[in-house]
Amino acid sequence: MLEIDLDAVAANWRILCERHASGDTAGVLKADGYGLGAVAIAARLFSAGCRHFFTAHLMEAMEIRPVVPDAMVCVLHGLGPGEEEAFIQHDLAPALGTLGEVEAWSAAARNAGRRLPALLHIDTGMNRTGLSPAELARLIGDTTMLGGLDLLYVMTHLVAADTPASAINALQARTFAEAASHFPGVRRSFANSSGIFLGEDFASDLARPGAALYGINPTVGRPNPMRPVARLRARIMQLREVAAGEGVGYDHQWVATRPSRIATLPIGYADGYHRVLSNKADVSLDGQLCPVVGRISMDLITVDVTECPTAVIGDWCEVIGPHVPVERLAALAGTNGYEILTSLGRRFHRRYLGA
């Protein structure tokens, strides 16, 4: 069972709003709300007062639009070929990251006979999406290319916000300020989750937090200022006694060194519980951490519950939650909390608290 605390999401948004006093704070709902349910989360954030939302794909934006009726909804991947009509029909704003997109959206505005909303994405060092320096120079030299567009914000994306000491942060701040100065009167959108905590140089008219909304720590190496949002639990489906010297799971990658009690849980890498966590992770049973032993398989894991002699079939084990933070799993898996949450599969029953 995957429990999502929507009140905690709203509380995290308010914390971020307080930190970003220079302007508004959006909600980023990429990847189905970081794997937790974009529609339910969007509805809760909207009820809390959030009026700016970002998705990666057009389809994601179309899915949340009915529950955020008068909010700005921006598609970060921009305007794809032939998508103009869908953007207009659902009142969505593309983040324009190429001159081709600018020209196509301007043409759509002329055809529609009205101004169309857009954000202008400027690349300041990521070298991934956004107008390149050469494209930006061309646009600055001929701003008529923006004709017909209601330019809501100019935006960029931080490369290393979770590494405060990185020199690229200050460089991006200077580069973005210079680029944005060529669009007087247009509001600016800068900081992501970690960027909100970098200081005044990263303040803007609109911050775009994602991970922090979902309880992932935006201040690496410091106490997490956010509330936990997700709790994943699985029931014990089998219990067995294993003698010392016996192996468990595929290839017997774990061998008991003592008489052991092994619990089997119906969760595996098909559910996003990464195989690399084999013999590394643990789950919590009544507050007691119990190690995952043996190789994680597609649908099952095995756990050493020898230290929990009262465990019975049907008991719930916490896989992610207060006793097993997502950051701990991420560190053990050699990844980040984003990947842990967005990997969570569709087989879990999702229960929304505070809906």
pLDDT value of residue 270: 97
pLDDT at 355 over 80: no
45-74 mean pLDDT = 98
For the chain, the straight-line distance linking the first and the last C-alpha, in angstroms and rounded, comes to 17
Distance from C-alpha of 118 to C-alpha of 152, rounded to nearest angstrom: 6
**Beta-carbon count within 10 A of 212 CB:** 25
- CB contact at 8 A, 298 and 289: no
Give the tens place of pLDDT for each residue, 170-227. 999 999 999 999 999 999 999 999 999 999 999 999 999 999 999 999 998 899 999 9
Q: Per the structure block, which two tokens stand in for 246?
A: 């016996």
pLDDT value of residue 264: 98
Give the tens place of pLDDT for each residue, 252-291. 999 999 999 999 999 999 999 999 999 999 999 999 999 9
**Beta-carbon count within 10 A of 112 CB:** 13
Catalytic residue status for 273: no
Angle at the Cα of 163 from the Cα atoms of 161 and 164, rounded to 5 degrees: 80
147-175 mean pLDDT = 96
pLDDT value of residue 240: 97
pLDDT value of residue 34: 96
The catalytic position among 30, 153, 214, 273 is 30
**Beta-carbon count within 10 A of 81 CB:** 8
- Sequential DSSP letters for 166-221: -HHHHHHHHHHHHHHTTSTT-EEE---TGGGGS-GGG--SEE---GGGGT--SSTT
pLDDT at 241 over 90: yes
- CB contact at 8 A, 161 and 207: no
Catalytic residue status for 30: yes
341-353 mean pLDDT = 95
CA torsion 86→91→94→95, rounded to 10°?
A: -160
pLDDT value of residue 273: 97
Q: All domains of the chain, ordered by start, with CATH? A: 2-214 (3.20.20.10), 230-353 (2.40.37.10)
pLDDT value of residue 40: 98
pLDDT value of residue 262: 98
Question: What confidence tier does 29 reach under pLDDT thresholds 50, 70, 90?
Answer: very high
3-19 mean pLDDT = 98
Angle at the Cα of 55 from the Cα atoms of 223 and 183, rounded to 5 degrees: 95
Closest by Cα among 182, 286, 209 to 15: 209
Q: Per the structure block, which two tokens stand in for 187?
A: 């509001």
pLDDT at 230 over 90: yes
The catalytic position among 34, 153, 214, 250 is 250
- CB contact at 8 A, 189 and 208: yes
Contacts of 343 (CB under 8 A, 6+ apart): 35, 272, 274
Give the tens place of pLDDT for each residue, 83-141. 999 999 999 999 999 999 999 999 999 999 999 999 999 999 999 999 999 999 999 99
What sign does the CA torsion over 58, 64, 70, 71 have?
A: negative
pLDDT value of residue 80: 96
CA torsion 349→224→129→202, rounded to 10°?
A: 140
285-308 mean pLDDT = 97
β-bridge pairing 116-121 and 52-55: unpaired
β-bridge pairing 149-155 and 116-121: parallel
195 — phi, psi (to 5°)? -60, -30
Q: Per the structure block, which two tokens stand in for 1?
A: 């069972």
pLDDT value of residue 163: 95
